Amino acid sequence: MPEQFDPKGNEIRHLRQFAQLSGANVLEIGCGDGRLTWKYAAEPCQITGLDPDSARLAKAQQARPPGLRARLAFIQAHAEAIPLPHETFDLAILAWSL
Amino acid sequence: MVDALKEIWRALKPAGILIDLRPRAAKLPLDILYKNDVTPAGWVDDSRDQADDIAADKAMAKTVSQGYFVLERKATFSYLMYWDALEELTMYVTDRWRSAQLDETTVDNTRRLLVERGPAAKLRTHREMRIARYHKRS
């Protein structure tokens, strides 16, 4: 393997300890290519990934497993102007993005 | 940043949770691992974004003081990164880790140590990660 990051899974373990992912409607801000998204994508009922970078979002779209299409959406936007209604999400994750 | 946090506050349901997960901008030790030995080779300098890091802390603190969010708990943890070859690290820094820099001394040391240790040697650095949990104050 040419590169290996966080092999002990500290990041996802801490995220699970800090957030109730199961059944949640999640907004991930700065989802990029979906690096973090894929680690928890099986748990929430709905995920919206937000990122201003269209190239990275395109990678995320391409990598999105078919089984997740109905409950995983990616939107190109800045966090300063989230194009979504008020009071939509149970959980917001700033993914290396603040 | 404060505007983004207020927008997130708007999009969260009452009592919704905000997780702030991010690495600390810093100079990170770069080590060569070979068998049970760990040899320092230099630094991956990821300190260029320290000002942004401090600004993010201030923005978060401001939204707490203004009554948008309440801090529940926070922690730090290690995020280890491994490469098999110097070229893989330099390519990663160039293409995907643009806030980081490798100085010439580190590159030279790393190259020399990898030659000395042989193909089984690996490179490792670690980022200090911070995670904090807030709830929305309605």
From B17, B20, B131, residue closest to A90, measured CB to CB: B17
Options 3.40.50.880, 3.20.20.450, 3.40.50.150, 3.40.50.300; CATH for A20-94 is 3.40.50.150
Q: Give the nearest chain A residue to B75 (CA atoms).
A: A14
SS (H, E, C) chain A: CCEEECCCCHHHHHHHHHCCCCCCEEEEECCCCCCCHHHHCCCCCEEEEEECCHHHHHHHHHHCCHHHHHHEEEEECCCCCCCCCCCCEEEEEEECCC
Full pLDDT tens readout for chain B, 138 residues: 999 999 999 999 999 999 999 999 899 999 999 999 999 999 999 998 889 999 999 999 999 999 999 999 999 999 999 999 999 999 999 988 988 999 999 999 999 999 999 999 999 999 999 999 999 998
Containing B65, the helix (H) or strand (E) segment is helix B50-65
A2-23 residue pLDDT tens: 689 999 999 999 999 999 999 9
* d(CA B94, nearest CA chain A) in Å: 15
- ipTM for the complex? 0.93
Domain segments of chain A: what residues? Answer: 20-94
Q: Do B13 and A87 touch (CB under 8 A)?
A: yes
- Please count the structural domains in chain B: 1
Q: Which domain holds residue B45?
A: 2-136
Name residue A34's amino acid.
G
